[in-house]
Structure formats: C-alpha cells, structure tokens
Amino acid sequence: MTLHVGVHVSIGGGVDKAVDRAYNYGSTAFQIFTRNPRGWMYKPLKPDEVALFREKVKRFGYDRYVVSHMPYLPNLSSPNDNIYQKSLDSLINELNRAGELGIPYLVIHLGSHMGKGFEKGKERLLNAVSTALDKVDNDVMVLLENMAGQRNSMGSRFEEIQVLLDGLSSYSDRIGICFDTAHAFAAGYDLSTSKGVEYTFNEFGEFIGFKWLKVVHLNDSRYELASGRDVHEHIGLGYIGEKGFRLILSNKEIIERPLILETPVDKKRGDLGNIMMIWYLAGVKPPSNILKRWEEYLEKDPQDKEIYENYILKM
C-alpha cells in the first residue's frame, strides 16, 4: 500500500508553485491557503497560475489529494453581524476559488459562539454553510474540522459535530469531516494510549461515522491532554508521542485518507522530517520514487537527514 501524506505548503510566487514545493518534499498529498490567511482582502486568482496549478496537479498525480483551508479570520458562528457577513462572504469566495483550482476539499474552522451558547452558534454556522453551498454550484466539499476545546468554541466534541451534520443532511454530498489529532487531544480525547485511541475512534464512529471522514490533520500537541490549547508540535515530540501516532496510523479508516501535517516551522525539525516520520510510524515502506525525491531534497537541505538515515533506511 501507499500513503497519501504531505504538509501545508506556501503559495508564495504563485499558487502553482505550491505543487512544486509539495512534489519536492516527496509529498503524496498537500494543503494550501488560496490567499493570505491573516487578512480579509484578497486578489483574484491569475488564470495562467490556475492553469499551471491544474496541469501540475494532474501531472504529479495529486488529483483527490489536494486540500484548501479557510483563512484564520472568519468566524462562521459569530453573533456579530459584521463579522458574520464577512465570514460568509469569505466562505463563498473560498468555495469558488477551490473550484477554480479543481481542489476537492475546503476545510473550515467551526468558529466561536462568543458566549452566546452552542444553539446560537449552531444557527449561525448552519445558515452560513447552507447559504454558501446554495450560492456556489461546484463539486467542492466543505469539511467541518473538530476544534480544540477553546472557550466558546464550536464542535470540539463529537456529539456537537453530529448535531451539525444532522443540520446539513440535505447537503450530504457536499459535506464531510476533517479530523485533527492535536485538536482532539486538546479537547480531551486521549490519543496517546491504546485505550484512549480505541475510545476516541469508537466515539467518532458512533457519533459521526467514518463515512464522513475525508481528510486527517496529523499534528502532535505541545500541551497536555484536555488543555484546550491549539498549539501543534512535531510528530512524536509532543504529548501524543510516537506511540500514539503508531496507534492512530494502525487504523485503516485513518491511513486511507489524505494525511496533512500542520507542524511548526522551527529548527527542531523540517517538514520533510515530519513526512518521513509518518511513513515510519505507519510501518509503510516508501516507494523508490519517493525515496529518490527525499534524497535529492536532503542534498540541498540536510536538516532531516538523521531521520532518513536512522529511521527510513532501516525499515
């Protein structure tokens, strides 16, 4: 078998350059922001870059393994009318942009009810998603991402996500779930032990159902279980740990999905190191074409060479 695993890559220099970066990492999947994630303003996609993006995705065989992520600022559950409308407009725009690029999935954060309660937040969120899907006629799926248990956040518990899915049942062909390991751990789902992983996936199956799972965000957690803090760590270096990821990756429902890493950018480890750790912890030997790209990359940037030599070459 093979894995479809990669990282969130930059679109700097043109959206098509993201595909080159993913390919150079030896990624078999990747995620992008289609624009600056920290602002409301954006420029239209350039037709020549869109054409190049689509051509490269097809040439490198990414197809169904590309993910777009909503910017950070939108809050689709906000009680503030101005923020809510801007957030809805952003969702509509991002659906259109993903459609232009031929990206099958758009991951959205479920936002915060800002102290107004889950029911009020649910009303806002369901209205936003249904309105956007009604207005944008394409094949892009909106993926609801589980949240990290921050105060007033929506969808940290699987029971809440079930309620949201029920409210969007008439859009079942355009709705799915993105499961984030760091968020689940921060929200109280113990992914560091065998009992905890078994419980978490049993709960996921009971309240949500794996048929809805389309993408997995694989991130370790810098803070302890049930911290309510959304701070990611390199794979195996956080509180989930190597043991936890071995257990997570032993689940066929997880390993068969696109696996996206959103790990830190620092001197401890590079993106390639985290990609290699997923292959290693999954116990899946990378094919020769992936190994070749890793070797070429490590010649230019040897930061993660130790992982390649001590883990990958000994598989």
Among 16, 160, 230, 233, the one annotated catalytic:
230
Active site residue 134: no
216, 106 contact by CB (below 8 A): no
Active site residue 232: yes
Q: Which residue type sits at 261?
A: L
Active site residue 145: yes
Among 20, 89, 253, 262, the one annotated catalytic:
262
Active site residue 72: yes
Using CA atoms, how far residue 108 sits from 19, 50, 78, 105, in Å, is 21, 22, 14, 10
Active site residue 262: yes
Nearest to 29 by CA among 5, 58, 55: 5
Burial letters for 157-177: b for 16+ Cβ neighbours within 10 Å, e otherwise?
bbebbbbbbebbeebeebbbb
Which residue(s) pair with 232 in the sheet?
221
Active site residue 230: yes
- CA dihedral 71→7→64→243, nearest 10 degrees, is -120
Active site residue 59: no
Among 232, 234, 257, 269, the one annotated catalytic:
232
Among 4, 21, 69, 124, the one annotated catalytic:
69
Active site residue 190: no
Active site residue 84: no
Active site residue 183: yes
Active site residue 206: no
Among 21, 35, 157, 217, the one annotated catalytic:
217
Among 94, 145, 233, 304, the one annotated catalytic:
145
- Cα distance between residue 30 and residue 198, in whole Å: 27
Among 72, 139, 159, 206, the one annotated catalytic:
72
Among 16, 100, 160, 180, the one annotated catalytic:
180
Among 35, 109, 113, 269, the one annotated catalytic:
109
Among 21, 174, 183, 269, the one annotated catalytic:
183
Residues taking part in catalysis: 38, 69, 72, 109, 145, 180, 183, 217, 230, 232, 262
